[in-house]
Structure 1
Amino acid sequence: MTEKYVGTTPRPKRGFAAMAPERQREIASLGGRAAHQSGHAHEFTSEEARIAGRKRHERRSPGA
């Protein structure tokens, strides 16, 4: 027996989700630039990345 799907119809996309991908990238790029200019953005040094990777692998393999 097949039953008809009874649910809500999908809503149309709104706001950021309705924009073209190129426009989303433009806006995100502006936000990234603003964060760097204001000093709120963080860039990992290779040492910080190495430590973070080590911690991640320690959590993933408890028996190793």
Structure 2
Amino acid sequence: MPYGIPAQARLCPNCDGFPIVAITTGTRRRDGTRTLLHVTCRVCRGTGSRPARRREASRV
């Protein structure tokens, strides 16, 4: 689990706690390094966690 996420927080179901990733485009620059795209998870907006759902009180 990535550091910085509180224990009571739930991991984002879309990114599994890895909210920002680097994707290579396959091309190289003149100095030989690869061109990268940094993509942020849209669901958790880069936090890696989702707030816990509130449970409704049971009606009897």
TM-score exceeds 0.5: no
Greater helix content: 1
Greater strand content: 2
Q: What TM-score do the two structures reach when normalised by structure 2?
A: 0.23
